[in-house]
Structure 1
């Protein structure tokens, strides 16, 4: 069988933006990361999570798909430790940043 490969990260639109470079350098030092791609990978994953939350927020509050997928998304984020149990709402998912 063949394997389907997907993008895991996106490179910044502006390669030499000093504010972003300084922020990335601090994150690398703080968390002991190997390279910038590790930061970009997390940012890419977070953007996909926020996009999913936006799509769900478009739906009606009582929509069964929004209730089911929204709860699944929030439970997953709480389980991996990204979201607090006190902030289990889709609105808080949109506020997630690196």
Structure 2
């Protein structure tokens, strides 16, 4: 049954966690997208697995039933920007975990505001400096829809201060030494 507060698992561990090539690929992905830990990557993989499973099950259905259910899946994926409006189920099956990670708020903020690292973007989000419309979002893993993408901005309460002009160092004039 499980905990009533958390009814289902959101992530699954990889089958072979000690595969060296797989570990190096994971670490590269963690660094590129600024993920806090591997669990965030596992969540993205599990979500992608769920979407791809839906696409495979739709391919197995009869044509009449598939014609009813396929637009629902495609519309939801197009809404979050994973596929184009005219995409097919083959496009859904070709999705990679990077496509899903590209739709995270953290990644979009880094690219939009040209921050140096994804970790700076994560910090700005967690500290409440990013808004979508008039809502302050403090979750870096928030999946941004296509409609919301243009309304991402710095919070109005966040004042970007320009660095203070460098003050000229004071030059102390020494008194002329008395000669005796």
TM-score bin (small chain)? 0.7 to 0.9
3-state SS in 2 of match to 1:85: coil
**TM, length-normalised to structure 2:** 0.49
CA RMSD of aligned residues (A): 1.5
Provide the residue aligned with 1:27 in structure 2.
29
2:9 maps to: 7
User: 1:20-77 deviations in whole A, cap 9, x for unaligned?
Assistant: 111111111111100001111111111111111111101122x1x3122211111111
Tell me how far 1:91 sits from its aligned partner: 1.5
- Asked if the contact 2:30–2:37 (Cα under 8 Å) also holds between the matched residues in 1, the reply is yes
Q: Give matches, 1:1-98, under 5 Å.
A: 3=5, 5-61=7-63, 63=64, 65-86=65-86, 88-98=87-97
CA distance in structure 1 between the aligned counterparts of 2:27 and 2:84, rounded to whole angstroms? 27
Unpaired runs of 5+ in structure 1? Answer: none
CA distance in 1, matches of 2:25, 2:6: 33
Q: Quote the Cα distance in structure 1 between the aligned partners of 2:20 and 2:47.
A: 23
TM-score scaled by structure 1? Answer: 0.86
Structure (1/2) with the larger strand percentage:
2
More helix by share: 1
Query: RCO (CA 8 Å, sep 6+): is it higher in 1 or 2?
Result: 1
Shift of 1:4: 5.6
Give 5+ residue unaligned stretches, structure 2: 98-180
In 1, distance between residues paired with 2:19 and 2:5?
Answer: 36
Match of 2:50, SS?
helix
Count of paired positions: 94
